[in-house]
Amino acid sequence: MTTAKTKLLTAADLLRLSSEGVRGELVRGVLHETMSAGVNHGKIVVKLVILLGAFIMPRRMGTLMASDTGIWLERDPDTVREADIAYISAERMPLNADIPGYSEIVPDLVVEVASPNDSLREVREKALMWLSHGARLVWTAHPNTRAVDVYRANGARATLSEGDTLDGDDVLPGFTCAVSDVFAV
């Protein structure tokens, strides 16, 4: 009995596929196609981008990126992941940096919004994966429960509900936002 060996893809393959209209992430060489997550997901991402952007951009603190920005995390086999929102400080990536392909700089802050079909385990694993590669702070927003899980590089984890305030910790000192604002209609 013979088994066909799966051909692992590279980051270059993923870039080529993207230009052909294939959207996805690469995890240890295996393509994981991503699909549109729906209106609620998109609204939450935009709200957070606006809130974060209004804080980060006037202060020239760093770069804020959207989900179609790949972050190259591992090589041979390659892993390229997409955060719903990623922030990299200006100290780690100059504001005028010209990076034509994937960034190899792991974001300081990663925001993931749970999609309707994501399990809690999948969302948690993705947050922990970002931390294991050097992210300092990860927020996972859960539209169904209207809560945000906060993961810190030191291993601390908290779940915030609508009566709580989300803050930028030492990654974005001074940033705060009511959790209820993240999910407001």
Residue of 101 and 106 predicted with greater confidence: 106
Angle at 68 between CA 64 and CA 73, to 5 degrees: 80
Give pLDDT, residue 2: 45
Residue of 145 and 35 predicted with greater confidence: 145
Give pLDDT, residue 4: 55
- What domains can you pick out in the chain, each with its CATH number? 37-70+81-183 (3.90.1570.10)
**pLDDT, averaged across the chain:** 92
Question: How far, in Å, CA of 115 to CA of 103, rounded?
Answer: 24
Residue type, 64: L
Give 119: exposed, middle or buried? Use CB within 10 Å, 0-12, 13-18, 19+: exposed
Give pLDDT, residue 5: 65
pLDDT tens-digit map of 45-93: 999 999 999 999 999 999 999 887 899 999 999 999 999 999 999 999 9
Residue of 69 and 147 predicted with greater confidence: 147
Mean pLDDT, rounded, for 161-176 = 97
Whether the Cβ atoms of residue 112 and residue 84 lie closer than 8 Å to each other: yes
Instruction: Concatenate the DSSP letters of all residues of 15-44 into one string.
Output: HHHHHTT--EEEETTEEEE-----HHHHHH
